[in-house]
Amino acid sequence: KVAIITGASSGIGKAASELFAKEGAKIVMFARRGEILKEIADGINAKGGVAVAFPGSVDNESDVKALFDLTIKKFGRVDILVNNAGVLRNNEGAVNVTDDDCYALFDTNALGTLRTCREALKHMLPAGKGTIVAVGSTGGILGHGGAAYALSKGAEVNLARQIAFDY
């Protein structure tokens, strides 16, 4: 399998990258912190896995398109997308949160997921198969982490539901 994992430079994304590679998947790791990403990919490759580090941001549509272009050029397909990139920056309640706080988190947590799903579907639909995973949050279901976070993660969770319904 060929897997793209966003937010792969730490935490869940790093662990998912290492596990997928251990299970035999070819991994394209995507995150903003390029040096850390490369170190992790080098570690995976040193253990016999296949990992490519591709620095970029889900906030940037051209980075996302370049990510999928690289994956298709190198491996010919994408079987799995793990949407793990996300930010938690503001713990304010609704009375204090600003529109700018909401826009910043929404751009990464919700629109970033949409950008990667949109590109993945362009390849998965013609292939008739594929798996998309969204790493959401209970904040998107139950509400916690602040108003901006809950707003953005709620959108991400419901986007995942909509994509599952559609496809």
pLDDT tens per residue, range 6-38: 999 999 999 999 999 999 999 999 999 999 999
* Pairing relationship of beta strands 80-83 and 26-31 according to DSSP bridges: unpaired
How far apart CA 99 and CA 86 sit, in angstroms, is: 18
pLDDT of residue 93: 87
Residue 156 CA, chain-centre distance (Å), reads 11
pLDDT in tens, 136-166: 998 888 888 899 999 999 999 999 999 999 9
Tell me the CA distances in angstroms from 26 to 38, 93, 120, 129, 150, one per residue in order: 15, 41, 16, 17, 33
What kind and span of H or E run contains 132?
strand 131-134
pLDDT at 46 over 90: yes
Is 149 among the residues known to form the active site?
Answer: yes
Residue 18 CA, chain-centre distance (Å), reads 15
pLDDT of residue 16: 98
The mean pLDDT value of the chain amounts to 95
Q: What is the DSSP letter of 119?
A: H
Nearest CA among 103, 88, 91 for reference residue 136: 88
The residue type at 34: G
- Tell me the pLDDT band of 62, cut-offs 50, 70 and 90: very high
Cβ–Cβ under 8 Å, residues 82 and 88? no
Q: Which of 28, 149, 153, 160 is catalytic?
A: 149
